[in-house]
């Protein structure tokens, strides 16, 4: 049963008990909390995910719970615990979901060294993956969300996951974190999109999360062939421009903003090398989201890498 099919009370009961087990594709997390409003938020943005309980290994066991002491009563705060430790300072109690998402990002980035983790959005169409690596503030999540609402399968918003064995791009399906103006931009772009509650005054401003669609969640074990690497940059009012990028420069940028390139040593070198050699690499600057989506769709159509879908990895839920 999917979280969206459960009542808030049922989700809250599970969070307060054994926890909700979420399978993102290559990573499984168990989440626990006794915060009632957190149950409502997580139900909304993870609505298409099944609670996948049972035994088995969890890469992350996370708990969101009230901070201790006076903070239980005055300007309530919550803390992110992972395996019993609290790696971050407490957050205001009404920012529990952003805290969970950032906490999960931190856990994945620091633990999952069986794959190359690029800081990139990723989408797929016709078996071909497009990576969108970018620095914070460059419009990566907005563009990823727009592509995911334009016929592309969402692979990931935060992590471009490169399989070290075969170079495929693996999904890491989780909600897309939209910030500030991009929340309304995506609401206008895709009025039927499911966007969870807005959390104002976080450390990154107002944050809201786009729920992944059912097809992307259900195909989270299906990798895709690395085909395009597109470095996006949103500049307000700027006309669309696309230029090919030298592979050597693409390599340096990819490795430079990866979470674990240097941790992986030669494995990271081989994975990044194979990635840039197998992909066409571009820079795109845009001020209009629809124009950027159309241009990226066109780039993919012009690539000759389309082919049969890759086989799923692990058991699909």
Partner 1 sequence: MSDPLWRLRCPDGFESVRLDAELLAFNPISWQTHLLNAAAAAALEELTAGPRSVRDLALALCGDEPHDADVAEHMNLVESLVAELEELGLIEREHTGNAAG
Q: Of 38, 152, 251, 286, which lies in the binding site for partner 1, with binding defined by CB under 8 A?
A: 251
Task: Say whether residue 269 binds partner 1 (CB under 8 A).
Answer: yes
Q: How far is the CB of 266 from partner 1 (least distance, A)?
A: 6
Q: How far is the CB of 224 from partner 1 (least distance, A)?
A: 23
Q: How far is the CB of 283 from partner 1 (least distance, A)?
A: 15
Task: Say whether residue 259 binds partner 1 (CB under 8 A).
Answer: no
Specify the stretch interacting with partner 1 by CB under 8 A; choose among 74-82, 177-185, 261-269, 303-311.
261-269
Based on CB atoms, which residue is closest to partner 1, 131 or 146? 131
Q: Cα 120 to the chain's mean position, in Å? A: 9
| DSSP character at residue 224 | B
Burial category of 206 from C-beta neighbours within 10 Å (exposed 0-12, middle 13-18, buried 19 and up): middle
Based on CB atoms, which residue is closest to partner 1, 106 or 269? 269
Q: How far is the CB of 251 from partner 1 (least distance, A)?
A: 6
For residue 160, the number of C-alpha atoms closer than 13 Å in the C-beta half-sphere is: 33
CB atoms within 10 A of CB 141: 22
CB atoms within 10 A of CB 132: 27
Q: Which of 43, 33, 52 is nearest to 11 (CA)?
A: 43
Specify the stretch interacting with partner 1 by CB under 8 A; choose among 9-17, 155-163, 205-213, 266-274.
266-274
Task: Say whether residue 179 binds partner 1 (CB under 8 A).
Answer: no
Q: Of 18, 52, 252, 316, which lies in the binding site for partner 1, with binding defined by CB under 8 A?
A: 252
Based on CB atoms, which residue is closest to partner 1, 100 or 162? 162
Are 277 and 305 spatial neighbours (Cβ–Cβ below 8 Å)?
Answer: no
Backbone angles phi, psi at 6, to 5 degrees: -90, 155
Specify the stretch interacting with partner 1 by CB under 8 A; choose among 100-108, 182-190, 245-253, 299-307.
245-253
Specify the stretch interacting with partner 1 by CB under 8 A; choose among 93-101, 111-119, 179-187, 263-271.
263-271
Based on CB atoms, which residue is closest to partner 1, 46 or 261? 261
Are 9 and 17 spatial neighbours (Cβ–Cβ below 8 Å)?
Answer: no
Task: Say whether residue 283 binds partner 1 (CB under 8 A).
Answer: no
Q: Of 135, 165, 241, 277, which lies in the binding site for partner 1, with binding defined by CB under 8 A?
A: 277
- What is the size of the binding site for partner 1 (CB under 8 A)? 14
H or E stretch at 147: helix 140-148
Give how far Cα 165 sits from Cα of 67, 114, 119, Å.
Answer: 42, 10, 19
Task: Say whether residue 248 binds partner 1 (CB under 8 A).
Answer: yes
Bridge partners, residue 160, by sequence = 118
Q: How far is the CB of 263 from partner 1 (least distance, A)?
A: 9
Specify the stretch interacting with partner 1 by CB under 8 A; choose among 16-24, 156-164, 244-252, 308-316.
244-252
Strand, coil or helix: 278: helix
Give how far Cα 162 sits from Cα of 74, 81, 199, 275, 283, Å.
Answer: 45, 28, 31, 8, 20
Q: How far is the CB of 72 from partner 1 (least distance, A)?
A: 46
DSSP 164-204: TTT-PEEP----EEEETHHHHHHHHH-TT--B---EEEETT
Q: How far is the CB of 83 from partner 1 (least distance, A)?
A: 28
Q: Of 73, 75, 266, 308, which lies in the binding site for partner 1, with binding defined by CB under 8 A?
A: 266
Interface with partner 1 (CB under 8 A): 246-248, 251-252, 255, 262, 265-266, 269-270, 273, 276-277
């Amino acid at each position: 049963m999917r979280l969206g099919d459960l009542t808030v009370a049922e989700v809250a009961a599970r969070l307060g008990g054994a926890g909700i087990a979420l399978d993102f594709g290559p990573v499984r997390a168990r989440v626990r909390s006794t915060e009632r409003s957190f149950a409502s938020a997580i139900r909304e943005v993870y609505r298409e995910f099944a609670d996948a309980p049972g035994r088995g290994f969890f890469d992350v066991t996370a708990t969101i719970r009230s901070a201790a002491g006076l903070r239980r009563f005055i300007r309530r705060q919550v803390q992110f615990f992972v395996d019993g430790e609290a790696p971050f300072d407490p957050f205001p109690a009404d920012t529990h979901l952003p805290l969970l998402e950032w906490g999960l990002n931190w856990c994945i980035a620091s633990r999952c060294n069986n794959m190359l983790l690029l800081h990139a959005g990723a989408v797929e169409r016709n078996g071909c993956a497009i990576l969108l690596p970018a620095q914070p503030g460059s419009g990566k999540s907005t563009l990823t969300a727009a592509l995911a609402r334009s016929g592309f399968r969402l692979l990931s918003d935060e992590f471009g996951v490169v399989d070290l064995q075969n170079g495929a791009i693996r999904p890491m399906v989780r909600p897309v974190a939209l910030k500030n103006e991009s929340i309304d931009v995506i609401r206008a772009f895709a009025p039927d999109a499911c966007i969870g509650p807005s959390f104002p005054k976080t450390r990154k401003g107002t944050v809201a999360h786009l729920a992944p669609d059912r097809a992307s969640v259900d195909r989270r074990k299906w990798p895709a062939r690395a085909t395009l690497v597109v470095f996006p940059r949103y500049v307000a009012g700027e006309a669309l421009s696309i230029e090919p990028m030298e592979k050597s420069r693409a390599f340096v940028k990819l490795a430079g903003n990866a979470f674990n390139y240097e941790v992986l040593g030669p494995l990271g070198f081989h994975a990044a090398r194979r990635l840039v050699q197998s992909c066409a690499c571009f820079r795109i600057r845009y001020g209009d989201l629809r124009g950027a989506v159309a241009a990226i769709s066109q780039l993919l159509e012009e690539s000759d890498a389309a082919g049969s879908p890759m086989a799923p990895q692990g058991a699909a839920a």
